[in-house]
Amino acid sequence: MLASNHESDGPREACGVAGVYLPSLSGYEAASVAFHALFALQHRGQESAGIAASDGRNIRNFTNEGLVSNAFRQEDIERLPGHIA
């Protein structure tokens, strides 16, 4: 019989994950909403952050090191169009 040590299973760092789905005609970009959600969760993991966004056809992503507030510039978020993030 194999014993499982749960402390060694899986990732050891804390992280925050958020998902956003908006109606495509809502007027909001999901990446912008996801940025604010990640900002609220950044105490869960402070080494890096990333957002992937989709318009239903294409998926674009951006990742960077550091706190959420430092990892993304407004231009980075604007390059992630779509209603899913």
Digit-coded pLDDT (tens) for 31-62: 999 999 888 887 666 788 889 999 999 999 99
Q: Cite the beta strand spans of the chain per DSSP E.
A: 48-54, 59-65
Reply yes or no on whether 15 is catalytic: yes
- What rounded mean pLDDT belongs to the chain? 81
Would you say 45 and 15 are in contact if contact means Cβ atoms under 8 Å apart?
yes
Per this entry, what is the length of the chain? 85
Judged against a pLDDT cut of 60, whether residue 12 lies above it is answered with no
Instruction: Return the pLDDT at 53.
Output: 94
Q: Give the three-class secondary structure for 2.
A: coil
- With tokens 């510039």, the residue in question is 73
Ranges of each domain in the chain = 15-78
**Marked catalytic residue, from 14, 15, 40, 59:** 15
Of 10, 57, 12, 18, nearest in space to 35 by CA: 18
Judged against a pLDDT cut of 90, whether residue 70 lies above it is answered with no
Judged against a pLDDT cut of 60, whether residue 4 lies above it is answered with no
